[in-house]
Structure 1
Amino acid sequence: MGKSSKDKRDIYYRRAKEEGWRARSAFKLLQLNEEFQIFKGVKRVVDLCAAPGSWSQVLSRELFQNQKQEDAKIVAVDLQPMTPIDGVTCIQADITHPKTLHKILDTFGGEPADFVCSDGAPDVTGLHDLDEYIQAQLILSALQLTTCILKPGGTFVAKIFRGRDIDLLYSQLSYLFERVVCAKPRSSRGTSLEAFIVCLGYKPSKNWEPKLELNKSTEEFFEGAGIGKSDNLEHLDFPVDEGRTIGTFLATGDLNDVDSDATYRPGKERELVPVQMPTAPPYKKALEMKRRGDLVRR
């Protein structure tokens, strides 16, 4: 009851349901686009860690309905199953596996992507240092695939957890992109460590050809690019008594819009058609066992 009543007071949660978005995170991508115009001139998009698919919904509406790009192609990748979205090719796969890269390239006809995004995050443990480390590794895993498929000048957007050592990630990304900005959409709760790294103007490293391979760590993958952790620390050479590099931070979204941390009294209740039916409900396995008779008392 507590979670349900809190969701009803969350204005972005309610707006997502009313407007047909699968999750409130759709507004985060929309507000990032208002600030950076990341959809401009985009035709081939990869949405990593896409489930349940709210970002893919935004991309589909923007490219096919608003920009009328009938030849646009959108690929959504996630380990979890996704209910189909118009104009979106859903791939249930691991973003670190080379076969996933080949499937995306086949969908694009061998052409590179204009835009790669990732709204993925681990199941948080409450241990902030651990959560930040796992999230950073997830970003680097997404970046591995991105460097193999993104065209020069392309854009990469990913969710981050801002922590004590986030400046190292900023520095690593700055080797591969012309501009790196940390953005906080208004629809993202201020009480959350969540933010989004917006990387504009992809510039592939010279004399380095990214190659996605199994059983290779992220540091080994980026070793030739010169942005590995050990190389980066040597290059930066932070003196103990001096400050560390601080990335640009922007708050995005209309200041007159609703506050994601505030609670609002629910309006008139009405039934809404489900946006997405359950793809892998927890009770599915129990129902299958019951049909087979495996749950009968012995």
Structure 2
Amino acid sequence: MLIFAFTLLENPQCQDVVDGRLLRREKRLLHSLVSEKVIMDPVEDDPIKDLTQHREQCYPSALATIQAITLPLLDRDDKSRFPFSWDDALLPKGSKIACNANRADQSCHQALPYKMKHLLLGTKIIFYEERNFQGRYYECSSDCADLQNYFSRCNSIRVESGCWMVYERPNYMGYQYFLRRGEYPDYQRWMGYSDGIRSCRMIPQYRGSYRMRIYERENFGGHMMEFMDDSESVQDRFNYPEIHSCHVDGYWIMYEQPHFRGRQYFLRPGEYRRYSDWGGMNPRIGSFRRIMDFF
């Protein structure tokens, strides 16, 4: 399994850290660009632990050189702990990225391919009060249960990376809207009914298998049918007009009407014993599909 490392040059503050870890303790370093910072992790006995726990921070002022290094082969369980495929993030060995501490968001980030930028910098969504990305705006990179303190209305949204659910009311309540990477110049573009967006939730990457078992009655009773792919018209295969409970692997969007239209419901992996568990106002579901386009 290959991952990438950055060798920092011409920066005394960073070089001291590199020397301390690399020479005196003979540790190799992994570096990940996060915002305008470089996060440095020593590779110890558990490479996974060190990939997910950032320890030292410094601001590069000159140049970073990509070096591909190899981790020991991991078994299936260990691989599942990685939230993404490192192969998608690789740059050729020796590639150089200009990093300037004052303008790192442009000089560093724009040099990265999109998949690599997404993996390193995380997800981001930008809410604008006016249409066509005008007026006051708010940038968000994680779940937020109450957006009311940041803007009074939302008439356009730009999703720079990742997939998101946005909600009409605080605490992930009310109408739900699924957004993938792209631009939404007015709320009709995300099938919104108004300019009210009060909470948002980031949809994490998922590398496992997708499966949904739907049931005719609540608490997993009655007729059951299993799906492993999208269904544009549920009743064409499930000969019952209502879905009262379900068991889900992976991330899915349910729609009240066929052909992926109407009110939306976001389902995370888990059990839903009644339709109210996924926020439904009634048990009518016309279609559903998997969330797979995370980039």
Shorter chain as denominator, the TM-score bin is under 0.3
Relative to its length, the structure with more helix (as a share) is 1
Relative contact order: is structure 1 or structure 2 higher (C-alpha 8 Å, sep ≥ 6)?
1
TM-score (norm 1): 0.23
**As a proportion of its length, which structure holds more strand?**
2
Q: Kindly name which structure, 1 or 2, has the bigger radius of gyration based on alpha carbons.
A: 2
